[in-house]
């Protein structure tokens, strides 16, 4: 019998996932490291509570009206079949939602909207629509890497645009080199931004439209968190004059409606881009289950759900940033999302020094059983997520008090 190692299968893996080295690489990736550190910390402190600020998804169920709609729709024979590129009701609901929540009234639901099985696969498909070998995708970093990964898989190149604090965590489009501008076909933006929590102003988006036009680039604005804004109205790239001529925006029901596992999103904007997406999508999947799309219609028609969710994250983020500010961190309320992105300290008094955010994050897990996500792409920061689990309001306060107690024992140096 051949062992898994000398099986011919191992030699057949494509280079894009590591070739013959697939599964054998020694390098451990960030999220795997976090998982391992969590397991080790829990094993070292049996029965202790881990405060999990590391998760990137809502801690609660979808709202009852959405769940009930699914329960009813799942019984109906007309919903049983392939949904292909989506049902008309969902496209119309998406257009209504853009109008009601974002004031965007220019989207034709016949030709300018299509659904996706979550925004992740939509982002994964974009390079298939536009990227030939040698073409460039401009990606903001730190950020959600999916469109960059698939760009490389199609033989394209990724040019990273760093998001720096001094620039409001916006990319400096003027600094994109001439060669990259010439070869770039796609520009990935994500505002409000994961992980920085930064929002983008209308003035920035106007600049983006101009940049895209001048350089013949398609803008893909990932609006996964767009509805989760604190203190200002949700804002859509599509509301900027000319946006529809240069790109699309991807909206997800995952975060705004507590529907991560349901897998539902939509992309709206330029008709030709949507047509290309429809073609590629048709070759990948046969659409999200119609009953889920109909539950999605209910969600999109009830944006008040998002207002309740936003109020909870805002309350939590204010408390979390308050604790961090008291300890000397430069923690500011984000414009949106559910993330708090703070510069790491150099070390703790009379103790550990941290060479990078990964080390600091590992320290918090192993010493304090507090889980966070480190980012070392453009400066060293850690991300605290307000989606930690709690059993109601009183328990939420207990978790926050416990966070304060554990962090309070440390004197940070910056």
Is 299 an interacting residue with respect to ligand PLP (CB under 6 A)?
Answer: no
Q: Which stretch binds ligand PLP (CB under 6 A): 42-50, 112-120, 213-221, 380-388?
A: 112-120
CB within 8 A of 311, min separation 6: which ones? none
CA distance 206 to 203: 5
Q: In the range 122-161, which residues lie near ligand PLP by CB under 6 A?
A: 144
Sole binder of ligand PLP in the list 52, 112, 222, 362 (CB under 6 A): 222
Nearer to ligand PLP, 120 or 316 (CB): 120
Is 163 an interacting residue with respect to ligand PLP (CB under 6 A)?
Answer: no
Nearest approach in angstroms of CB 223 to ligand PLP is: 9
Sole binder of ligand PLP in the list 69, 215, 254, 372 (CB under 6 A): 254
Sole binder of ligand PLP in the list 224, 256, 268, 382 (CB under 6 A): 224
Nearer to ligand PLP, 225 or 354 (CB): 225
CA distance 69 to 298: 7
C-alpha triplet 87, 225, 333: angle, nearest 5°: 165
Is 190 an interacting residue with respect to ligand PLP (CB under 6 A)?
Answer: yes
Is 56 an interacting residue with respect to ligand PLP (CB under 6 A)?
Answer: yes
Its sign, for the CA torsion 233, 238, 240, 241, is: negative
Nearer to ligand PLP, 254 or 371 (CB): 254
Rama region for 86: left / alpha / beta (φ>0; ψ in -120 to 50; rest):
left
Nearer to ligand PLP, 265 or 319 (CB): 265
Is 228 an interacting residue with respect to ligand PLP (CB under 6 A)?
Answer: no
Nearer to ligand PLP, 144 or 230 (CB): 144
**From the CB of residue 373, how many other CB atoms can be counted at a distance below 10 Å?**
24
Is 258 an interacting residue with respect to ligand PLP (CB under 6 A)?
Answer: no
Size of the site for ligand PLP (CB under 6 A): 13
Sole binder of ligand PLP in the list 58, 109, 118, 234 (CB under 6 A): 118
Q: Which residues partner with 141 through β-bridges? A: 162
Sole binder of ligand PLP in the list 140, 236, 252, 310 (CB under 6 A): 252
Round to the nearest angstrom and report the end-to-end CA distance of the chain.
58
Residues in contact with ligand PLP by CB under 6 A are: 56, 118-120, 144, 190, 194, 222, 224, 252, 254, 260, 265
């Amino acid at each position: 019998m051949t062992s898994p190692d000398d099986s011919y299968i191992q030699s057949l893996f494509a280079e894009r996932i590591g070739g013959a080295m697939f599964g054998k690489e020694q390098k451990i990736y960030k999220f795997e490291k976090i998982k391992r550190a969590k397991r080790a910390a829990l094993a070292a402190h049996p029965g202790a509570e881990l405060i999990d600020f590391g998760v990137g998804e809502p801690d609660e169920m979808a709202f009852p009206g959405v769940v009930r709609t699914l329960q009813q729709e799942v019984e109906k024979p007309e919903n049983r079949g392939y949904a292909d590129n989506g049902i008309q009701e969902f496209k119309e609901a998406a257009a209504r939602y853009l109008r009601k929540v974002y004031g965007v009234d220019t989207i034709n639901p016949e030709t300018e909207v299509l659904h996706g099985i979550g925004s992740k696969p939509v982002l994964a498909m974009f390079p298939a629509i536009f990227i030939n070998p040698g073409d460039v995708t401009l990606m903001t970093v730190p950020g959600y890497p999916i469109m960059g990964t698939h760009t490389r898989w199609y033989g394209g190149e990724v040019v990273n645009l760093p998001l720096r604090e001094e620039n409001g965590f916006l990319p400096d489009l003027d600094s994109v080199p001439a060669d990259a501008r010439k070869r770039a076909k796609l520009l990935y933006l994500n505002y409000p931004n994961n992980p920085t929590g930064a929002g983008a102003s209308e003035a920035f988006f106007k600049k983006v439209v101009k940049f895209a036009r001048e350089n013949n680039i398609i803008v893909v604005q990932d609006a996964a968190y767009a509805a989760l804004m604190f203190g200002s109205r949700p804002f859509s790239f599509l509301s900027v004059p000319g946006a529809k001529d240069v790109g699309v925006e991807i909206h997800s029901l995952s975060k705004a409606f507590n529907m991560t596992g349901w897998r539902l999103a939509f992309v709206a904007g330029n008709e030709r881009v949507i047509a290309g997406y429809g073609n590629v999508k048709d070759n990948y999947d046969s659409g999200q289950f119609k009953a889920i799309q109909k539950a999605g219609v209910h969600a999109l028609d009830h944006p008040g759900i998002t207002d309740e969710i936003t109020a909870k994250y805002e309350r939590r983020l204010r408390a979390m940033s308050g604790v961090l500010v008291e300890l000397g961190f430069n923690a500011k309320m984000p414009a949106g999302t559910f993330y708090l992105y703070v510069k790491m300290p150099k070390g703790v008094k009379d103790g550990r020094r941290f060479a990078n955010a990964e080390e600091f994050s590992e320290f918090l897990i192993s010493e304090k059983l507090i889980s966070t996500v480190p980012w070392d792409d453009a400066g060293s920061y850690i991300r605290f997520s307000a989606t930690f689990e709690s059993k109601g309001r009183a328990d939420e306060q207990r978790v926050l008090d416990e966070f304060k107690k554990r962090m309070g024992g440390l004197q940070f140096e910056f």
